[in-house]
Amino acid sequence: MRTMATSLFLHEKMITTEAKAKELRKVAEKWITRAKENSINNRRLLTKEINPFIVKKLVDIIAPKYAKRAGGYTRITKTGQRKSDGARMAIIELVQ
């Protein structure tokens, strides 16, 4: 989930299976909520989980967009099934 969350914060949108998107939503929203309060302790806790470059982007760019928002920072849009194995696919993106 760390790698997927890193990709989500880096690109702000990604395509994955529906089940992974639902699990990723939980992790990403917790991290955004933590990043909204810009403190040294929160930066250190986030740096334990993800790359410091992504933490900087998360705290300085992404979290301020959601300062007045209480939750629901991500959106999952179902896109259908994958042809090879029939897995349900979805797009997960950060809400603007």
Domain that holds residue 21: 2-94
Convert the pLDDT of each residue in 17-36 to its tens digit. Answer: 999 999 999 999 999 999 99
Strand partners, 91: 15, 77
CATH at 56: 3.90.1030.10
- Local confidence band at 11 (pLDDT 50, 70, 90 cut-offs): very high
- Local confidence band at 46 (pLDDT 50, 70, 90 cut-offs): very high
Is residue 31 within 8 A of residue 59, CB to CB? The reply is no
Is residue 32 within 8 A of residue 69, CB to CB? The reply is no
Q: Looking at the 3D structure of the chain, how many domains does it have?
A: 1
**Within 13 Å of residue 31, how many CA atoms lie on the same side as its CB?**
30
Convert the pLDDT of each residue in 65-89 to its tens digit. Answer: 999 999 999 999 999 999 999 999 9
Q: What is the residue-averaged pLDDT of the chain?
A: 94
Question: What residues contact 50, with CB distance under 8 A and at least 6 apart?
Answer: 2, 5, 6, 9, 31, 58
pLDDT above 90 coverage of the chain, percent? 97
